[in-house]
């Protein structure tokens, strides 16, 4: 299972970025898609999730600033990040649990300067 993220980069505090993740149709269709992030020296934490039916959930630290969405026709999941803060700096990973295995993308770096 290959998940491919894109859209990271360097942005000033208060700015916005949109991350994208492409997944195989067989994996994407009926499964919850997740975004995680990992800052240097810290554990990887869940940022947002969206079920196959479109129900979303967010970490408290990003509520009101980040929006996760999915395009079922394109097998894509997105993370719109607004009002970015320096503490959002991390590698962001797309993830899915499929047949009892958790799959990860390669990660995309997001750096927010103050």
CA distance 102 to 92: 15
Say if residue 1's pLDDT is above 90.
no
pLDDT tens string 55-92: 999 999 999 999 999 999 999 999 999 999 999 999 99
Say if residue 15's pLDDT is above 90.
yes
Write down the pLDDT at residue 34: 97
pLDDT tens string 19-53: 999 999 988 888 999 999 999 999 999 999 999 99
Tokens of 38: 């990992």
| Distance (Å) of CA 5 to CA 36, 76, 98 | 12, 10, 18
Write down the pLDDT at residue 52: 93
């Amino acid at each position: 299972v290959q998940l491919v993220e894109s859209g990271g980069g360097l942005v000033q505090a208060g700015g916005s970025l949109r991350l994208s993740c492409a997944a195989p149709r067989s994996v994407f269709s009926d499964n919850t898609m997740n975004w995680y992030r990992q800052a240097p020296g810290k554990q990887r934490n869940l940022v947002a999730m969206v079920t196959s039916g479109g129900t979303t959930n967010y970490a408290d630290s990003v509520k009101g600033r980040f929006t996760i969405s999915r395009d079922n026709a394109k097998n894509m999941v997105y993370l719109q990040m607004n009002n970015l803060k320096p503490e959002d700096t991390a590698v962001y990973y797309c993830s899915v649990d499929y047949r009892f295995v958790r799959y990860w993308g390669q990660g995309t770096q997001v750096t927010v300067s103050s």
